[in-house]
Amino acid sequence: MKFVIILPDGASDEPLPQLGGKTPLEAAHIPNMDAIARDGRLGRIVTIPEGFDAGTDAGTLTLMGYDPRLYHTGRAPMEALARQLAAAPDQLIFRCNFVHVMDGIMTDFTAGHIEQADADALIAALNQASFPGESCSFHAGVSYRNLLLVSNASTLKLRTQPPHDITDQPVAGYGPRGEGQERVQAIMDRAAEVLADHPVNRRRRERGERWATDAWLWGQGTPMRLETLESRFGLKGATITAVDILRGISVGMGMDLIEVPGATGYIDTDYDAKGRAAVAALDRYDVVAVHIEAPDEAAHQGMAEEKKISLERIDEAIVGPLLHKLRGLGDYRIVIAPDHATLVRTKGHDATPPPFCYAGTGVGPGSRRPFSEREAAATGVFLDPGCTLLDEVLGRRIRINAPPASTIPTST
Q: Where are the domains of the chain?
A: 2-72+225-394, 92-221
Residues 63-68 have a mean pLDDT of 97
Ordered DSSP codes for 323-363: HHHHHTTSSEEEEE--SSEEETTTTEEE-SPPEEEEEETT-
Instruction: Reply yes or no on whether the pLDDT at 407 is more than 80.
Output: no
Q: Please report, to the nearest 10 degrees, the dihedral formed by the alpha carbons of residues 17, 23, 27, 31 taken in order.
A: 180
**Res 396: pLDDT:** 65
Instruction: Reply yes or no on whether the pLDDT at 335 is more than 50.
Output: yes
Going by C-alpha positions, the residue among 293, 215, 213 that lies closest to residue 247 is 293
Residues 367-371 have a mean pLDDT of 98
Residues 217-232 have a mean pLDDT of 93
Residues 398-410 have a mean pLDDT of 34
List, in sequence order, the alpha helices (H) in 83-180: 116-128
Long-range CB contacts (< 8 A, 24+ apart) of 226-232? 226/66, 226/71, 226/252, 226/253, 227/253, 227/400, 227/401, 228/253, 228/254, 229/253, 229/254, 229/255, 229/287, 230/254, 232/65, 232/398, 232/400
Which CATH fold would you assign to the domain 2-72+225-394?
Answer: Alkaline Phosphatase, subunit A (3.40.720)
Ordered DSSP codes for 137-161: EEEEEETTEEEEEESS-TT-EEE--
Q: Which string of b and e fits 283-309 if b means at least 16 CB within 10 Å?
A: eebbbbbbbbbbbbbbbbbbbbebbbb
Instruction: Reply yes or no on whether the pLDDT at 403 is more than 90.
Output: no
Going by C-alpha positions, the residue among 382, 383, 355 that lies closest to residue 369 is 355
Residues 120-125 have a mean pLDDT of 98
Query: In this predicted model, what pLDDT tens digit does every residue of 73-121 receive, in sequence order?
Result: 889 999 999 988 988 889 999 999 999 999 999 999 999 999 999 999 9
The helix (run of H) or strand (run of E) holding residue 78 is helix 75-82
- pLDDT cut 90: percent of the chain above it: 91
**List of residues 6+ apart from 61 with CB closer than 8 A:** 67, 68, 71, 72, 249, 387
Q: DSSP E strands: which ranges in 154-232?
A: 157-159, 177-179, 214-221
**Res 400: pLDDT:** 36
**Res 223: pLDDT:** 87
Instruction: Reply yes or no on whether the pLDDT at 144 is more than 80.
Output: yes
- pLDDT cut 70: percent of the chain above it: 96
> What predicted TM-score, i.e. pTM, was given to this entire model?
0.84
Rounded mean pLDDT of the chain?
94
Instruction: Reply yes or no on whether the pLDDT at 405 is more than 50.
Output: no
Going by C-alpha positions, the residue among 402, 248, 318 that lies closest to residue 11 is 318
The helix (run of H) or strand (run of E) holding residue 115 is none
Going by C-alpha positions, the residue among 393, 308, 302 that lies closest to residue 347 is 302
Residues 291-319 have a mean pLDDT of 97
Ramachandran sector of residue 213 (left: φ over 0; alpha: ψ -120 to 50; beta: rest): alpha
**Res 89: pLDDT:** 86
CA 42, distance to chain mean position in Å, is 22
**Res 224: pLDDT:** 86
**Res 395: pLDDT:** 76
Contact of 295 with 9, CB cutoff 8 Å: yes
